[in-house]
Amino acid sequence: MLNKPPERGDVLDDRIDRFAESIRGYYDLSELGDPSASTVDDITVVGRIIHDDDVAEESAKLADNAISLECSRALGNGARVPLRFDWDLNIHRGAQGNGSVAFFPGALVALRGRNGGGGYFQVSEVLMPPVLPPAPSGTSEANGAFAMFIASGPYTPDTDLGFRPWRSMITKIQETKPAVVLLLGPFIDALHPQIKSGEVDSPPLNLFRTRIIDPLRAYLDLVPGSIAILVPNVRDLVSDHAVFPQCELPADVAREDPRIRLTPNPARFSLNGTIFGATSADVLFHIPKSAFVKRGEEIDPTPPLSPENTGSDPLANVCRHLLQPFSLPLELAAEVVLDVSHTDGLRLGGEDEEGTPESAPDVLIVQTVYTTTALNPSFVSKAAYVVSDVARPVKSATVGEA
């Protein structure tokens, strides 16, 4: 909310322009066109998907007659052009077996077609972006495998602040003795009914330390060499950063215990050579909620890496959006306040500041997608969590109940 409109525009333009360069190289294109200019021949255009109705809510669902493309100032003077699609749409280099493409507000796309002067751009082809390369294989070692426990908040039901599901989960952790405990917020949820109404007699920091940190430290004492990783949520009362992307929790809230690693949200980190990506934002909910799907003919599709890794799984297709260059969608305003000045922190891959390609994570905490295993641990308050045996490649993951 502190971003000035010109600053926000510069950041969005930069994202579009960098995406355009990746498309230009991937498809060996000499130039990109302006969708607002009338042309006789087909051209390739790049931009950001927006809702055609300026007064529509950001979460409004796109439709055939309510979808537009916004260009950068360099590619099309920032023009917003309505889109229409051919009935025999072609989709280039998509996931084999998918046979469709999903558009959602904030998605960066490359399209081919023409503006015949009717006030809209007629799309005949969709050019899918390049797939991130897999993470480089680490050194194969006998002690490289490890057990990992993954859980996501809220950690107590809306009816009370007793944290009974979390206490049950700690018991499970003590039984399984994983080397890594990965916890995603919210830990002390600002939207909990009793906290909102003031029916609590302990400050949020005390609740967090006594309910979450102290039992976690007791486990780390029980299993020497184990670590815990905490990913915050924008609803966390113990965080002093309420926008997304979000910085890590202050070190003192976790009693400055070196065994408890604090990461940003989203986070990207490596454990024994396996690269993880994690976020506590519910992107798997918001993308399909506003997505608009168009069927089309597959042209030169990306083949699956294994028989079960097909393009027909809707949830896996949502996860694929997170692995495309420039990663997480910007249109999450229904859940989080977006800080566009730090959108580089949204990337789970893509390119670094020098333009060097990065790799996709081996495990995405949010189904194998391309070379990435995606896990959705659900909520501890619903007695759900994930226990994963991690090696290269990831061996197995099981969903349990507290």
Better pLDDT: 367 or 259: 259
> What's the pLDDT tens digit per position in 274-285?
888 888 887 777
- The arithmetic mean of pLDDT across residues 345-362, rounded, is 61
Higher-scoring residue by pLDDT: 228, 318: 228
CA–CA distance, 385 with 152 (Å, rounded to integer)? 7
Given this model, what pLDDT does residue 131 score?
78
The pLDDT score that the predictor gives to residue 350 is: 45
pLDDT at 18 over 70: yes
Nearest to 131 by CA among 2, 250, 247, 304: 304
In the prediction, which pLDDT does 62 show? 85
Tell me the mean pLDDT in the region 60-81: 90
What distance lies between CA 278 and its chain's CA centroid?
8
Q: CA 383 to CA 402: how far, in whole Å?
A: 5
- Predicted TM-score (pTM) of the model is 0.84
Lowest mean pLDDT among 114-128, 219-233, 369-383: 369-383
Q: What are 25-43's pLDDT values in tens digits?
A: 999 999 999 999 999 999 9
Q: What is the pLDDT of residues 368-386, one digit of tens each?
A: 455 567 777 777 777 677 7
Q: What percent of the chain is predicted at pLDDT more than 90?
A: 51
Question: For position 367, what pLDDT does the model report?
Answer: 47
What is each CA distance from 209 to 217, 243, 381, in whole angstroms? 10, 23, 18
For the cut 80, the answer to whether the pLDDT of residue 135 exceeds it is no
Read off the pLDDT of residues 155-189 as tens digits, 9 standing for 90 and up: 999 999 999 999 999 999 999 999 999 999 999 99
User: How confident is the model over 269-322, as pLDDT tens digits?
Assistant: 989 888 888 888 877 777 777 788 999 999 999 887 655 566 667 777 777 777
Inter-residue contact 327 to 348 (CB < 8 Å): yes
Looking at residue 15, its pLDDT comes to 86
- Identity (one letter) of the amino acid at 55? V
Domains of the chain are 5-129+282-327 (no CATH), 142-280+359-401 (3.60.21.60)
- pLDDT averaged over every residue in the chain: 83
Q: What is the pLDDT of residue 241?
A: 87
